[in-house]
Structure 1
Amino acid sequence: MFDLHRLRLLRELKDRGTLAAVAAALSYSPSSVSQQLSQLEAEVGVQLLEPVGRRVRLTPQAEILVAHTEAVLERLERAEADIATSLTDLTGTLRIASFQTAALALVPAALTLLREAHPGLRVHLTQLEPEKSLPALLARDFDLVVAEEYPGVPSPRPTGLEQEDLCADPLHLALPEPASDAGSDTESPTAALRALADRPWVMEPTGTAARQWAMTLCRNAGFEPDVRFETTDLLLHLRLVERGHAAALLPGLVWDGRPATVPLRQLPRGQRARRLFTAVRSGRSHHPAIRACRRALRQTT
């Protein structure tokens, strides 16, 4: 019988990439992690790791072992959910990660509902973009992630995660003041975009799904945007637009139900909303804390 703790270390190494990252995540020393994995190799009787420069990678046999470990951990997730369901009071800790605008506009109200319905449940919230939070969810750093998907840029759907739609968040072209050079609100969406071809833009950093979507949108309108400002902080996007420094593509959640503070134009068909969803590890969706959190989030939309 293989040691489950050591199997989990091997799985962590697959997800995190380095012994140092595994050690940091689990509060061990790298030498301790290495020793545990060496003992696992002895148990299994085959080589599990092979050196690649200063790093190590999993052998094909280790990949087989990790696949079976995933199945075991999923069953344990279900067992934990079943035990929690059998209890009268909902207790324990729920670790949530959410991107900025949802963390500002949706999560606080959901936390209030959770506190009122389940005062014994302790909730931890981390603001983190989906590019980082979804891999961290797989690595068991979080229990639930609130993430986003932009039109034409499908989010990764790795094996081991289950997604559930939350809501659609409208997307708008936000015009810097003065907005007179962007035409009237009766012109076509593509023409409104093209009218801002010579203006500075603020966008999220290269490598994010939002940036990929925004660049594609502008290029389809016939121009390469002059991106002078880059940040994941959409409140800073809004401030730059309000002060006339940049044009931007902003979601409705930025205003959290309040009236828009800058002139807005409609985007082309098929590009007018992003999809918001929650993700959990497979086997975890029936846990009462997960169900309660998802229910509370839906009530806030």
Structure 2
Amino acid sequence: MFDLHRLRLLRELKHRGTLAAVASALSYAPSSVSQQLSQLEAEVGVPLLEPAGRRVRLTAQAEILVAHTEAVLERLERAEAEIATSLSDLTGTLRIASFQTAALALVPTALGLLRDLHPQLRVHVTHMEPERSLPALLARDFDLVLAEEYPGNPNPRSSELEQEDLLDDPLHLALPEPADSPDTDSPTAALRSLHGHPWVVEPEGTAARHWAMALCRNAGFEPDVRFETTDLLLHLRLVEQKHAAAFLPDLVWYGHSPTVALRQLPRGQRARRISTVVRRGRSRHPAVLACRDALLRAVALHSGRAQGGTALELISRGAARSRRPR
């Protein structure tokens, strides 16, 4: 029988890419990781790694082993969930990764709900963009990730992950004052009127940047990008100070009134989808269920502040509408 610990090291290598990254993540010496994988090769009886420049890559036989290891680990996560469900008190640690606006607008409220309902549950939150947090979720650095998808830019869907919708967050064109485009202009015309104005967008390689550039190009111009940051509060401040135009989501205001002039975007581009993502086999863990429920309630409370509705009404409506597994 193959050693599960060594199989996990092989799996980590697939997800992290280098022996050094595996060693760093698991607090091992690189030589120890290499030795363990050499012993696994001896157990299996075939080469598992082959040179790829200065790095190594998995052989076809190693990929087979990793696929079976994933299935074993999924089953173990289900066992962990069943054991946790059988206990009267929810304990342990739940590791969450969230992008900025959700971390500011929703996570603190959810943490308060979790603290009141499950005081023995320790929650660890890391601010991380989905481009990094989703691979880290696969590598078991986190238990739950808050992710965002922009219109026409879905995240890569791994069969090893399970995604559940949380809310659709409206997106707007944020105008520096004075606006050159009258309110009666179409969304595309309002967007096109800012073709010569400086813009603030997220960095290259992010889904938000790809979406923003495509939106401007579809309107017939190349945006003059002067500022690049994942910090949407800085986006907002630059618009407020008339330094740049931007695309801003509703969560930036945490349910308060907008502080800049906003225009509607073209149809099909008016909301990003926010979801919670977990590894397959972990969705029934009581800590994950409690966290997802707390986040749904936080969404309802946020919506109640923004729309003037009652929290209880919005909680019940939001739970029915938003819990759509994908």
Q: TM (normalized to structure 1)?
A: 0.99
- Which residue number in structure 1 is paired with residue 123 of structure 2? 123
DSSP 3-state at the match of 1:172:
strand
- Which residue number in structure 2 is paired with residue 8 of structure 1? 8
Structure 1: segments with no counterpart, 5+ residues? none
Q: Which runs of 4+ in 1 moved over 3 A?
A: none
DSSP 3-state at the match of 2:227:
strand
Residue 53 (structure 1) shift: 1.9
Q: Which whole-Å CA distance do the structure 1 matches of 2:235 and 2:157 have between them?
A: 28
- Which residue number in structure 2 is paired with residue 193 of structure 1? 191
DSSP 3-state at the match of 1:62:
helix
Q: Which whole-Å CA distance do the structure 1 matches of 2:288 and 2:18 have between them?
A: 30
- Which residue number in structure 2 is paired with residue 273 of structure 1? 271
Task: Please list the CA deviations of residues 204-247 of structure 1 after superposition, one character each: whole Å capped at 9, or x if unmatched.
Answer: 00110000100110011110000010000000000000000000
1:1-301 maps to which residues of 2 (within 5 A)? 1-179=1-179, 181=180, 183-301=181-299
Residue 186 (structure 1) shift: 2.2
Identity %: 81
Residue 54 (structure 1) shift: 1.5
Residue 92 (structure 1) shift: 0.1
Q: Which whole-Å CA distance do the structure 2 matches of 1:195 and 1:42 have between them?
A: 66
Q: Which whole-Å CA distance do the structure 2 matches of 1:184 and 1:114 have between them?
A: 46
Q: Which whole-Å CA distance do the structure 2 matches of 1:165 and 1:52 have between them?
A: 39
Q: Which whole-Å CA distance do the structure 2 matches of 1:4 and 1:42 have between them?
A: 14
Q: Which whole-Å CA distance do the structure 1 matches of 2:184 and 2:292 have between them?
A: 39
Q: Which whole-Å CA distance do the structure 2 matches of 1:53 and 1:173 have between them?
A: 46
Residue 185 (structure 1) shift: 2.0
DSSP 3-state at the match of 2:297:
helix
State the one-letter code of the partner of 1:287.
H
State the one-letter code of the partner of 1:241.
V
- Count matched residues: 299
Residue 178 (structure 1) shift: 2.2
Q: Which whole-Å CA distance do the structure 1 matches of 2:162 and 2:121 have between them?
A: 22
Task: Please list the CA deviations of residues 23-42 of structure 1 after superposition, one character each: whole Å capped at 9, or x if unmatched.
Answer: 00000000000000000001
DSSP 3-state at the match of 2:282:
coil
